[in-house]
Amino acid sequence: MASASLGVFGVPPFTAGGWRTRLAALAMMLFAFSCLAVGSQQGATPVLERSVKAAFLYKFLGYMEFPSDPGPSLAVGVLGADDVAAELAQITSGRNVGNRSISVRKLGEGDALGGLNLLFVGGDAALPEAAQRAAEKNGTVIVTERDGGLQSGSVINFRLVDERVRFEVSLPAAERCNVRLSSRLLSVAYYVQKGGQ
């Protein structure tokens, strides 16, 4: 009788809870696969690296709980990385996170950061300390791509590890901007900085 509850090839059929579990597992697998090797061909590497980072930025939004209701859309600002902004705008076009649409704003130094849920600071772009504190206070998650990014206050920092785009996370920085990060996001991080480190 036990075999009657099994589907094709002995796999349990999709139930209300079962399909959600499988969907979540598939999403995490796809998220993990987005840690693609950047490759070694000259010229193609930066393009692929930027595409992978843009895909990560989009995926990060689904694993964050913001301090206040962001309303019908999530706003992502990109400072100092116009190529990432263009790629991210293309990836998010027509897509939602939950029931929220996504808007991408290309920023220049000195532009207002109000209303952002996520801010990617690319390369050597400078984010003044006062602007960073204001962003934290407003619940904006700051993502960087430089050595010492977590030490300078970023919630997430990209790193290249064995020619793969990986990311590290600072829980104290997430707490400062009052954003909760999903355990699923933390489970695929290269490194997680905890309190007191």
pLDDT at site 196? 62
Question: What are 134-175's pLDDT values in tens digits?
Answer: 999 999 999 999 999 999 999 999 999 988 999 999 999 999
Reduced to 3 states (helix: H, G, I; strand: E, B; else coil), residue 72 is coil
Chosen CATH of 12-193 out of 3.30.379, 3.40.50, 3.30.110, 2.115.10: 3.40.50
Q: What is the pLDDT of residues 31-78, one digit of tens each?
A: 544 454 444 344 445 788 999 999 999 999 999 998 777 678 899 999
Predicted confidence at residue 195, as pLDDT, reads 79
Nearest to 177 by CA among 74, 67, 75, 76: 67
Q: What 3-state DSSP class applies to 89?
A: helix
Task: Give alpha helix (H) positions in 62-180.
Answer: 82-92, 129-137, 171-176
Measured distance CA(124)–CA(90) in Å, rounded: 24
- Please give the average per-residue pLDDT across 122-143, as a whole number: 90
pLDDT for the residue 150: 94
Q: What is the pTM of this model?
A: 0.77
Supply the pLDDT for residue 13: 46
Q: Average pLDDT for residues 92-100, to the nearest whole number? A: 92
